[in-house]
Amino acid sequence: MRASRSLALAAAVSALVAGAAGCGGGESGKGGRTPSAGSAAPGAPRTPAPDAWIPGRVAKMSVAEKVGQLFVPTFSSRADALTKIRKYRVGGLIYFPGNIGTPARTAAQSNALQKASKIPLLLGVDEEQGIVSRTPFVTTFPGNMALGATRSQADARAAARVTGAELRAVGINLDYAPDADVNVNPRNPVIGLRSFGSDPALASTLVRGAIGGFQEAGVAAAAKHFPGHGDTATDSHTGLPVIQHSPRTWERLDAPPFEAAIAGGVDLIMTAHIVVPKLDRSGDPSTLSKTVLTGLLRGKLGYQGVVTTDSLEMAGVREKYGDAGVPVRAINAGADQLLMPPDLPRAYDAVVKAVRTGKITQRRLDESVTRILKLKQRRGLFQGTSADPAKAAAAVGTPANKAVARGVAEHSVTLVRNDGGLLPLKGRKVAVSGPDSGRLQAALRRQGVAVTAPGSADVMVLTTVNAGAATASRIRALGSKPVVVAALGRPYDLDSAGGAKAALATYSSSRVSVEALARVLSGAVKPTGRLPVPAGGKPAGHGMAYR
């Protein structure tokens, strides 16, 4: 981003904070990712855009039908989902482990839900991979920070394409991913490994790759959490985080991945339940801030697609205005999709009442419904939504998909320190302790490494998962033998691993990552990952190879 543009946008943000009213919000303006009529020679007939029919459809809908399109609740059973579809005409539903069955059952259920709705449903799921994974049958990938360590847009795209294709095979057409937050706070309790890293440029590259992968698979993608959730020590599920980024800091650090998402044609952008006082002085969470959603996201970044709230069940958005006030305020702030209201009847009635009393204007309601229907048109839902239950199981967890995951995991393993050339381990007797030690022992044996008891070992391998400062005492407890520390969770554990001779990070304790670690430790695979965040006393970008 050129300095002149950066300064101009920062100045514009400052003007908004100083009191300028929010701008934008319609379907016109720069950056909108809605299809437009193709160009034609002067005098030639223009070809209508594929979604040209949608405004006419919206004009014929009742207020009750329009309001229903805004809501994406969760559901406890198929019967519960069908009630919400028929009574509230919801625009979508979200899957969680409690309402997902086998691939065949999930595909059949998706078909039944779509059949019950007059307008195709956005059937979504929170499948970020890594530590946020809701579909038990999809091919397992290590997650975003591991992808950050690969520094490969191709890997990010391939991982998203595989995940998206497996979701679409069971009728899920929307993934609330990728995470576009730039994680610069090691104490961040809610983002951490969900982020691609601490470098805005790296995050931007991988966000755009992931979006392309999801969309190639026919699944809508959602970049989250705007305006940026990467520098907080409070979990917005249980409290209301406050981030003290200035407009210039936001422009330099938080905005670039969302700009990249918009440039890549992202389908939705999810809001954050955070307060950023230097962007909006109201004290309201960004989900309810017109300055942030309409002023910054739509007006300054030019985004004209669907804005979805984060879950309205979360404490960060519920504290101030209550479950009836929040959805009304979110819509007037610039949100289109209301995700997981804790009390759907109450929220739905509140929005209907707000429209009928003029608190939400008809024009504002129509803007949101139009965006939602255009999204459904763009992802092909009006052309067909059916999944094939008979083929669903064969489409997930295929050998080819697992090979992609294996490659990503291997590319991500990062060698941070290797004093005296301690690694690779082949030819040494090794003892393993810590989380997932049994799995790692078995994987090392398959690679021909001699795994033995601590008393007989030449080298001790210690695994950690978010151990933090306790890592140091665990190293000391292993005695005087050389220690290799492998951080299977947050790489920040390596900040306390100074007593180890060698240190690595995998960013994941999944089976695919532990197997990749074993191949790197044994020397069967050379380490190629580079730190996506500062860790172990080394800067982001650091990574070692074997001699």
State yes or no: is 237 an active-site residue: yes
- How many of the other CB atoms lie within 10 Å of CB of 404? 18
What is the distance, to the nearest Å, from the Cα of residue 517 to the centroid of all Cα atoms in its chain? Answer: 25
User: Rounded to whole angstroms, how far apart are CA atoms 348 and 350?
Assistant: 5
Backbone angles phi, psi at 534, to 5 degrees: -65, 135
Q: Please answer whether residues 460 and 478 qualify as being in contact, where contact means their C-beta atoms are separated by less than 8 angstroms.
A: yes
Give the DSSP letter string of 169-187: HTT--EE---B------TT
Q: Which helix (H) or strand (E) holds 347?
A: helix 344-356
Strands 268-271 and 306-308: parallel
**Contacts (Cβ under 8 Å, ≥6 apart) of 239:** 315, 316
- Residue 426: φ, ψ to 5°: -55, 135
Rounded to 5°, the CA angle 328-26-24 comes to 85
Instruction: Report d(CA 69, CA 85) in Å as an integer.
Output: 10
Q: Are 452 and 543 in contact (CB under 8 A)?
A: no
Could you give the C-alpha distances from 504 to 176, 198, 461, 520, in angstroms and in order?
A: 30, 18, 11, 10
For residue 164, give every residue at least 6 positions away whose Cβ sits within 8 Å of its Cβ, in sequence order, or none.
Answer: 175, 213, 214, 215, 216, 217, 218, 219
Nearest to 88 by CA among 71, 74, 76, 75: 71
DSSP H helices, 379-480, are 389-395, 399-412, 437-446, 470-476
Contact 164/213 with Cβ under 8 angstroms? yes
Please tell me the distance from the alpha carbon of residue 162 to that of residue 534, in angstroms, as a whole number.
Answer: 29
Q: How buried is 37 (Cβ within 10 angstroms: 0-12 exposed, 13-18 middle, 19+ buried)?
A: exposed
- Residue of 51, 126, 155, 310 marked active site: 310
3-class state of residue 337 by DSSP: strand
Q: Which of 412, 540, 393 is closest to 486 using CA atoms?
A: 412
- The strand pair at 220-226 and 338-339 is best described as unpaired
Query: Crossing angle, helix 511-522 and helix 399-412, to 10 degrees?
Result: 60
Find out whether 456 and 429 touch, Cβ atoms under 8 Å. yes
Contact 99, 106 (CB under 8 A): no
Active-site annotation holder among 80, 235, 237, 542 = 237
Using alpha carbons, list the distances in angstroms from residue 412 to 163, 315, 346, 406, 419.
18, 34, 46, 10, 21
Active-site residues, by number, are 237, 310
